[in-house]
Amino acid sequence: MDSNLIAAVLSCCGTVAGSFFGVIISSSLTRYRVKQLEEKVEKHNQVVERVYKLEVSTKSAHHRIDELREEITYDK
């Protein structure tokens, strides 16, 4: 075989292999970043749910305090 042909074939194989491994590494990094973002979003959603429950609880506590104040003012 001609040395130019061998060099071209090896060059092509190297280019294909480099591109393939580059895509694999890039996709694994992307998957890792997406996983990290999903975890952050899940933590944020848990905080939002907890704050909502606290708001509901606080609202009912304020209603109960208002009822007790009304009872005290009626008892006087």
How many other β-carbons are positioned within 10 Å of the β-carbon of residue 27? Answer: 10
Select the more confidently predicted residue: 55 or 71: 55
Q: What is the average pLDDT across 44-63?
A: 93
For every residue of 31-68, DSSP letters joined together read HHHHHHHHHHHHHHHHHHHHHHHHHHHHHHHHHHHHHH
pLDDT in tens, 4-36: 999 999 999 999 999 999 999 999 999 999 999
Q: Is the pLDDT of residue 71 over 90?
A: no
